[in-house]
């Protein structure tokens, strides 16, 4: 009994109260429960799953209730990850139970058979034994099979002789451990974009509803399997109808295979150019000397950062260690994953939010068993149970999607650094536009700066021109979307068979609907935000809560009939473009046209293959895509983001302009970038135009220093919210009193109406806190949280956001 024999365990539960709860262990569980395992316990009238923090023999003051069931035979969180969870809970001021729950991809309700993996002891034993015994030996066969990946008992029994007996004996010796295999209750409960529907070969007699009849008619016209989500564009209510028809056996529903699979051709690695080699040499050195070190790899767009990552991963693997690569949500495409499969084969695991629970759990097991030692994942991938972690790469480290915008509000990049520190691993943060914080850390010597100043193979940086739209207006007397210069440039590309990407930071047809007579704008009923007009279905939509309504024919306030449309959206840009350039083939990419990951990929793929001349899109198109035939990038308006009431507005604008410019001229043809703006003198716009990160950084740093914004202070945002305005006001007043006077070194601004004062039917007030001392800030935030718990504000009434990335 390696884990001892204890009578009690302390369990962290996903509830707002922060302390662990002590449970008694029934006889049968005493020797099996260990820290990091999940257990099912009674909590009030409910049953909850929690994570064991500690096992012990200290009788609690009050009589403890009994734990009900052990869910994992081996800990799902090792000591290192448990410690990381505790750090997150404390730093981001979030309940530990919720943090731990968020770190695990495994659902725990339904069980279906057992799945076996090798333990560390089993791995060693296997190595030894396989040298000694004949290949046909039943024990050797089972061990060899499990060395490559975890397998279910049923699979082993089918494939190998005597497997049942061998499994029992190996389990008893602690060489393998079983885990309950959980499967989604019903495979057809998968999200619509992962389901295919097809007419059944023989169909029963049945009375069908109208949507069902419409779907059947469509399927008769278009035989074959269709993706449910895609169908919704053609048949109203397709997805519901397909599911109900499935129950009647009228159609066949099946799962679409995983969007990212492991079949890829290997590509020969590039040999590194001198700056790449220089950067890699330093990373290599850190990995082999097994020391914690953080590098900031600042490389311009197209400088070949990925090749440096791949080499660093090689080094980690050669040193017998695992590697983790984090990428922004939108960047994890099949093409991207393909590069890694091509290079590292089946050792790669992918953690992606588009996967179902079952798929994610499968990947997670493959990692924990040691079968996968290279993990590519989005934000929460930072918790992957990689064995013997030696390297974490965070690509596009400045990206906002690393910040989780719900509790626990952690930043994946920062968590990566903390995890690497305790694992003695090396971190590489890569970006063409490093965040101010990271660049400043490099300046202070906390990180090591590595630079790739030029594009590979001496390809030139694109030529950038700023187009002053105020001058354009004076000269043409027209409020045009496209300047003459931009239209000309696009036409030229059309003639030459080259491609154009156009960026607009707003989806929908125009940004809002307003009344000419009284100026009233049409707002969402749940949020104090204007609704966006969508031409395709003539609706106005709230982009925060999805509330929709028809465009009114009269002003709701003054009854005037002069309703008009303000602003500009990607849908409208597309339409105007059609008018100006009737022959152009235009595709659009934004959250309206893209429902699933797959769909997004197929639009991009078609563009890459030359089926379109122009791609219009929101900032979704700014990241990472490498399309050689794009020689023109147009930015319709650089100004949209600059107006946001957020201290990062300039930084964000600089980043998006630079990233977007980076899409031009990545092949052998040189690229041109045209930026339309009414603020050509703004430093973010000017420096982006000159590819001058350094100048931007210095200027922005000065602004932050003057205003005591990060990185010159630690910041937090306390948000109080309630559906009732009086309640929200009273809570924020109470909290205001509690926080007064603020401790030294802290400056509290608020309570004030939040920039979005009403959202999803809740009124919102906020306190913005700047602190010269992080410990003092943390102490204050924990006190604020206890105050809310004591006052019994609901679990969601107080939001604590440490190091906020957006204040909107
Ligand atoms: P970044 O991420 O820095 O924008 P990428 O890593 O996407 O740049 O590299 C840009 C292109 O250059 C890719 O097509 C890549 O295959 C190629 N590349 C990378 N390193 C080299 C090299 N040493 N020689 C030639 N081509 C390279
Ligand atoms: Zn009006
Ligand atoms: Zn809304």
Is the CB–ligand 1 distance for residue 303 below 6 Å? Answer: yes
Model confidence at 180, in pLDDT bands (50, 70, 90)?
A: low
The more confident residue out of 315 and 569 is 315
Is the CB–ligand 1 distance for residue 456 below 6 Å? Answer: yes
Q: Which of 663, 683, 634 is nearest to 505 (CA)?
A: 634
Report pLDDT for 141: 85
**Residue 453 burial class via C-beta count within 10 angstroms: exposed 0-12, middle 13-18, buried 19 and up:** exposed
118-127 LR contacts (CB < 8 Å, sep 24+): 118/143, 118/146, 118/147, 118/175, 118/176, 118/369, 118/370, 119/74, 119/174, 119/175, 119/176, 119/177, 121/174, 121/175, 122/146, 122/170, 122/174, 122/175, 122/176, 123/147, 123/370, 125/173, 125/175, 126/175
Ligand 1, from 307, 429, 622: best to mutate by most atoms within 8 Å of Cβ?
307
Bond from prior residue into 616 cis (ω within 30 degrees of 0): no
Which residues have C-beta under 5 Å from ligand 3, the single-atom ion? 524, 526-527, 542, 544-545, 547
Whether 154 has a pLDDT exceeding 50, the answer reads yes
Model confidence at 261, in pLDDT bands (50, 70, 90)?
A: low
Ligand 1, from 394, 455, 456: best to mutate by most atoms within 8 Å of Cβ?
456
How many Cα atoms within 13 Å fall on the side-chain side of residue 627? 30
pLDDT in tens, 298-355: 999 889 999 999 999 999 999 999 999 999 877 777 777 888 888 998 899 998 876 7
- Is 56 within 8 Å of 35 (Cβ atoms)? no
Q: Which atom of ligand 1 is nearest to the CA of 299?
A: 3
pLDDT in tens, 416-441: 999 999 999 999 999 999 999 999 99
How far is residue 529's CA from residue 513's CA, in Å, rounded to a whole number? 12
DSSP 8-state class, residue 591 = T
Residue identifier of the C-alpha nearest atom 19 of ligand 1:
304
The rounded mean pLDDT for the chain is 85
pLDDT in tens, 207-228: 888 889 888 888 888 777 888 8
Whether 111 has a pLDDT exceeding 60, the answer reads no
The more confident residue out of 410 and 183 is 410
The more confident residue out of 535 and 401 is 401
- Is 88 within 8 Å of 379 (Cβ atoms)? no
Distance 784 CA to ligand 3 centre (A): 29
Q: Which tokens is 173 given?
A: 């010796």
Residue identifier of the C-alpha nearest atom 24 of ligand 1:
270
Q: With the CA atoms of 596, 597, 600 and 605 taken in that order, what torsion angle do they form, in degrees rounded to the nearest 10?
A: -140
How far is residue 714's CA from residue 566's CA, in Å, rounded to a whole number? 38
Model confidence at 389, in pLDDT bands (50, 70, 90)?
A: very high
Model confidence at 182, in pLDDT bands (50, 70, 90)?
A: very low
Instruction: Report angle CA 408, 371, 362 to the nearest 5 degrees.
Output: 50
pLDDT in tens, 118-140: 877 788 888 777 777 777 788 88
Is the CB–ligand 1 distance for residue 335 below 6 Å? Answer: no
Distance 544 CA to ligand 3 centre (A): 5
Count CB atoms within 10 A of the CB of residue 477. Answer: 8
Whether 262 has a pLDDT exceeding 60, the answer reads no
Is the CB–ligand 1 distance for residue 430 below 6 Å? Answer: no
Ligand that lies nearest to the alpha carbon of residue 662, given by its number in the listed order: 1
Q: What separation in angstroms does the CA of 281 have from each of 277, 296, 416, 447? A: 6, 14, 22, 16
Is the CB–ligand 1 distance for residue 276 below 6 Å? Answer: yes
Model confidence at 108, in pLDDT bands (50, 70, 90)?
A: very low
Q: Which atom of ligand 1 is nearest to the CA of 300?
A: 3
Model confidence at 266, in pLDDT bands (50, 70, 90)?
A: low
Is the CB–ligand 1 distance for residue 378 below 6 Å? Answer: no
- Is 267 within 8 Å of 343 (Cβ atoms)? yes
Q: Tokens 């604020």 map to which residue?
A: 784
Whether 547 has a pLDDT exceeding 80, the answer reads no
Q: Which of 296, 303, 199, 297 is nearest to 241 (CA)?
A: 199
Whether 508 has a pLDDT exceeding 60, the answer reads no
Count CB atoms within 10 A of the CB of residue 447. Answer: 22
Report pLDDT for 195: 80
Whether 264 has a pLDDT exceeding 80, the answer reads no
Task: List strand residue ranges (DSSP E) for 460-585, in order.
Answer: 463-468, 499-503, 512-515, 532-534, 539-541, 548-550, 563-566
**Residue 672 burial class via C-beta count within 10 angstroms: exposed 0-12, middle 13-18, buried 19 and up:** buried
Which residues have C-beta under 5 Å from ligand 2, the single-atom ion? 515, 517-518, 520, 555, 557-558, 560
Whether 624 has a pLDDT exceeding 70, the answer reads no
**Average pLDDT of the residues in 38-65:** 90
pLDDT in tens, 777-808: 999 999 999 999 899 898 889 999 999 988 76
How far is residue 324's CA from residue 429's CA, in Å, rounded to a whole number? 12
Q: With the CA atoms of 790, 791, 795 and 799 taken in that order, what torsion angle do they form, in degrees rounded to the nearest 10?
A: -100
The more confident residue out of 328 and 194 is 328
Report pLDDT for 254: 79
pLDDT in tens, 744-772: 899 998 888 887 888 888 999 999 899 99
* Three-state secondary-structure class, residue 783: helix
Please state which of the ranges 178-187, 195-204, 545-554, 660-669 shows the lowest mean pLDDT: 178-187
Beta-bridged to residue 767, according to DSSP, are: 718
Percent residues over pLDDT 70 in the chain: 90
**Average pLDDT of the residues in 192-198:** 79
Whether 87 has a pLDDT exceeding 70, the answer reads yes
Ligand that lies nearest to the alpha carbon of residue 560, given by its number in the listed order: 2
Is the CB–ligand 1 distance for residue 396 below 6 Å? Answer: no
Is the CB–ligand 1 distance for residue 441 below 6 Å? Answer: no
Report pLDDT for 106: 64
Model confidence at 275, in pLDDT bands (50, 70, 90)?
A: very high
Report pLDDT for 184: 42
How far is residue 492's CA from residue 207's CA, in Å, rounded to a whole number? 58
DSSP 8-state class, residue 611 = S
How far is residue 8's CA from residue 30's CA, in Å, rounded to a whole number? 8
Q: Which atom of ligand 1 is nearest to the CA of 662?
A: 4
Whether 485 has a pLDDT exceeding 90, the answer reads yes
Is the CB–ligand 1 distance for residue 270 below 6 Å? Answer: yes
Report pLDDT for 714: 95
* Three-state secondary-structure class, residue 785: helix
176-185, 524-533, 666-675, 767-776 — which one is most confidently predicted on average?
767-776
Ligand 1, from 304, 309, 398, 664: best to mutate by most atoms within 8 Å of Cβ?
304
* Three-state secondary-structure class, residue 77: coil
Model confidence at 495, in pLDDT bands (50, 70, 90)?
A: very high
Whether 511 has a pLDDT exceeding 70, the answer reads no
Q: Which atom of ligand 1 is nearest to the CA of 395?
A: 2
* Three-state secondary-structure class, residue 263: coil
- Is 513 within 8 Å of 655 (Cβ atoms)? no
How far is residue 98's CA from residue 785's CA, in Å, rounded to a whole number? 15
Residue identifier of the C-alpha nearest atom 2 of ligand 1:
305
pLDDT in tens, 711-744: 999 999 999 999 999 999 999 999 999 999 989 8
Whether 445 has a pLDDT exceeding 70, the answer reads yes
Whether 109 has a pLDDT exceeding 50, the answer reads no
* Three-state secondary-structure class, residue 570: helix
How far is residue 418's CA from residue 396's CA, in Å, rounded to a whole number? 18
**Average pLDDT of the residues in 525-541:** 73
């Amino acid at each position: 009994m390696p884990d001892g024999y204890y009578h009690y365990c302390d369990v962290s539960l996903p509830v707002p109260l922060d302390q662990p709860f002590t449970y008694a262990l029934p006889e049968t569980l005493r020797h099996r429960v260990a820290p990091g395992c999940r257990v099912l316990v009674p909590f009030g009238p409910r049953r909850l799953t929690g994570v064991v923090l500690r096992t012990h023999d200290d009788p609690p003051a009050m009589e403890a209730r009994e734990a009900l069931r052990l869910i994992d035979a081996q800990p799902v969180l090792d000591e290192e990850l448990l410690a990381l969870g505790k750090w997150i809970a404390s730093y981001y001021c979030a309940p530990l139970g919720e943090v731990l729950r968020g770190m695990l991809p495994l659902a725990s309700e339904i069980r279906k058979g057992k799945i076996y993996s090798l333990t560390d002891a089993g791995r060693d034993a296997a190595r030894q034994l396989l040298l000694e015994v004949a290949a046909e030996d039943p024990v050797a066969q089972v061990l060899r099979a499990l060395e490559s990946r975890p397998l279910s008992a049923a699979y082993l029994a089918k494939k190998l002789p005597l497997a049942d007996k061998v499994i029992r004996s190996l389990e008893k010796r602690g060489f393998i451990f079983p885990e309950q295999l959980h499967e989604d209750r019903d495979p057809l409960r998968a999200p619509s974009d992962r389901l295919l529907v097809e007419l059944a070969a023989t169909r029963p007699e049945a009375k069908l509803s109208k949507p069902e009849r419409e779907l059947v008619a469509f399927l008769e016209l278009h035989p074959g399997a269709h993706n449910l989500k895609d169908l919704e564009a053609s048949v109203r209510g397709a997805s519901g109808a397909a599911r109900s028809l499935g129950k009647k056996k009228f159609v066949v529903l099946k799962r679409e295979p995983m969007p990212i699979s492991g079949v890829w051709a290997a590509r020969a690695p590039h040999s590194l150019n001198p700056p790449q080699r220089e950067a890699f040499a330093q990373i290599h050195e850190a990995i082999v000397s097994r020391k914690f070190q953080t590098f900031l790899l600042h490389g311009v767009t197209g400088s070949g950062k990925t090749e440096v990552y791949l080499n660093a991963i090689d080094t980690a693997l050669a040193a017998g260690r695992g590697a983790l690569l984090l990428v922004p949500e939108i960047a994890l495409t099949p093409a991207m994953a393909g590069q890694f499969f091509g290079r590292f084969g089946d050792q790669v695991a992918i953690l992606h939010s588009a996967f179902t629970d079952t798929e994610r759990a499968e990947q997670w097991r493959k990692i924990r068993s040691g079968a996968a030692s290279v993990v590519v994942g989005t934000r929460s991938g930072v918790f992957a149970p990689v064995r013997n972690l030696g390297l974490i790469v965070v690509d596009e480290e400045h990206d906002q999607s690393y910040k989780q915008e719900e509790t626990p509000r952690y930043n994946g990049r920062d968590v990566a650094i903390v995890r690497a520190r305790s694992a003695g691993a090396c971190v590489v943060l890569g970006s063409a536009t490093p965040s101010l914080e990271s660049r400043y850390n490099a300046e202070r010597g906390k990180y090591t700066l590595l630079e790739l100043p030029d594009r590979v193979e001496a390809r030139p940086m694109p030529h950038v021109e700023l187009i002053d739209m105020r001058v354009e207006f004076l000269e043409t007397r027209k409020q045009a979307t496209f300047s003459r210069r931009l239209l000309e440039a696009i036409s030229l590309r059309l003639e030459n068979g080259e491609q154009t990407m156009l960026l607009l930071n707003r989806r929908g047809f125009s940004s809002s609907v307003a009344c000419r007579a009284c100026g009233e704008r049409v707002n969402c009923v749940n949020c104090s935000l204007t609704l966006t007009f969508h031409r395709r279905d003539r609706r106005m939509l709230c982009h925060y809560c999805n509330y929709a309504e028809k465009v009114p024919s009269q002003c709701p306030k003054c009854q005037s009939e002069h309703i008009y449309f303000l602003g500009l959206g990607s849908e409208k840009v597309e339409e105007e473009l059609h008018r100006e350039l009737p022959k152009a083939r235009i595709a659009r990419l934004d959250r309206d046209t893209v429902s699933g990951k797959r769909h997004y990929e197929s639009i991009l793929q078609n563009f890459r293959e030359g089926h379109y001349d122009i791609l219009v899109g929101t900032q979704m198109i700014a990241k990472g895509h490498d399309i050689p035939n794009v020689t023109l990038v147009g930015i319709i308006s650089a100004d949209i983001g600059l107006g946001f009431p957020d201290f990062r507005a300039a930084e964000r604008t600089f980043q998006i302009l630079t990233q977007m410019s980076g899409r031009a001229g990545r092949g052998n043809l040189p690229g041109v970038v045209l930026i339309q703006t009414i603020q050509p003198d703004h430093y973010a716009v000017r420096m982006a135009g000159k590819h001058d990160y350094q100048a931007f950084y210095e200027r922005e740093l000065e602004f932050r220093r003057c205003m005591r914004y990060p990185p010159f202070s630690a910041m937090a945002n306390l948000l109080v919210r309630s559906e009732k305005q009086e309640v929200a006001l009273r809570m924020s007043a109470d909290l205001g009193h509690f926080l007064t006077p603020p401790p030294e070194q802290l400056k509290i601004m608020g309570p004030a109406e939040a920039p979005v004062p009403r959202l999803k039917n809740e009124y919102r007030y906020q306190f913005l806190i700047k602190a010269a001392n992080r410990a003092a800030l943390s102490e204050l935030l924990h006190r604020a949280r206890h105050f809310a718990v004591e006052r019994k504000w609901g679990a969601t009434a107080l939001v604590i956001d440490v190091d906020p990335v957006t204040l909107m």
